[in-house]
Amino acid sequence: MDLTGGPFWFLMGVVFVVVASGFHVFARDRGWVVTWWKALLAVVWYAILSTSFFAWGTLIGENEASAGLKLFLIGLFISIVFGVALIRLMARPAR
């Protein structure tokens, strides 16, 4: 069975649903009001983080592990900065 094809993306879909549900509960517990654009930004953040991992894995497969690690670290850095900004934005009371 080719794990890099359909099953992989099926698994990614499952993970996304779990993460999104978790985020929903997390936001409700904290009393955040998640508007549609805040949710969109959260999806963008998740996409950046996931892509960093995907790029790393892809480049390892291409025998470019070092370049993959660098790209992953850059993506991780952007995700951390963006994530911190996003949390502060989420915690802001809605007008």
- Answer for which of 11, 18, 20, 80 binds another protein (CB under 8 A) is 80
- Is 44 near another protein (CB under 8 A)? no
Question: Is 95 among the residues that bind another protein (CB under 8 A)?
Answer: no
Looking at the Cβ atoms of 1 and 37, the one nearer to another protein is 37
Nearest-10 crossing angle of helices 6-30, 36-61 = 140
> What 3-state class would DSSP assign to 53?
helix
Tell me how far, at minimum, the Cβ of 80 lies from another protein, in Å: 6
First CA to last CA across the chain, in angstroms?
A: 51
Rounded Cα distance, 16 and 12, in Å: 6
Q: Which residues bind another protein (CB under 8 A)?
A: 73, 77, 80-81, 84-85, 88
